[in-house]
Amino acid sequence: MLRNKHAVLLLGIHSWPNSAKRRHFIRRLSPLSDAVDMRFIGSTSLKPEADVLRFDISLAGKTKLLQKYLIANAFLRYAVSQSHAFVGRSEDDAILDAASLAAHLASLQLTGPILYGVRGEWVMWSPTTLTPVCWAATLRRWDLQRARDAKANASEPKGECRPEHVGPVLLTKGPLVVYSRDLARSLVAWRGFSELETHVSSDWNSVLAVRLAEERRVRPQQPRLGVVYAPLAEDVFYSSAIHQAAGNDSLSFVSVPMSEYAWNHPASKRLRPLASAAVYHRIASSKFLNASGLDSGDGHLSSWWKRRKGHGRRSTPNCRPLAAAYKRSLSDMHCCRSWQLCAM
Residue 152 confidence (pLDDT): 65
Distance of alpha carbon 72 from alpha carbon 95, whole angstroms: 19
How is residue 270 annotated by DSSP?
Answer: P
Intervals of the chain under pLDDT 70 = 1-5, 59-63, 149-159, 265-268, 309-315
* Sign of the Cα pseudo-torsion (164, 166, 170, 174, in order): negative
At CA 191, angle to CA 189 and CA 194, rounded to 5? 85
Residue 161 confidence (pLDDT): 77
Residue 210 vs residues 91, 130, 267: alpha-carbon distances, Å: 29, 9, 36
pLDDT in tens, 205-223: 898 999 899 889 888 888 8
Where are the domains positioned within the chain?
A: 1-103+271-313, 108-176+220-256+314-344
**What length is written for the chain?**
344
Name beta bridge partners: 258: 279
Residue 150 confidence (pLDDT): 67
Q: Can you point out the beta strands (E) in the chain?
A: 9-14, 36-43, 52-55, 86-91, 94-96, 114-126, 131-136, 166-180, 251-255, 258-260, 279-281, 318-321, 339-343
Query: In terms of DSSP bridges, do strands 318-321 and 251-255 run parallel, antiparallel, or are they unpaired?
Result: unpaired
pTM (2 decimals)?
0.89
The crossing angle, in degrees rounded to 10, of helices 234-246 and 191-218 is 120
Residue 1 confidence (pLDDT): 43
Residue 236 confidence (pLDDT): 95
Closest by CA position to 183, among listed 112, 105, 123:
112
pLDDT in tens, 145-161: 777 766 666 566 566 77
Longest dimension (CA), the chain: 62
Distance of alpha carbon 224 from alpha carbon 128, whole angstroms: 17
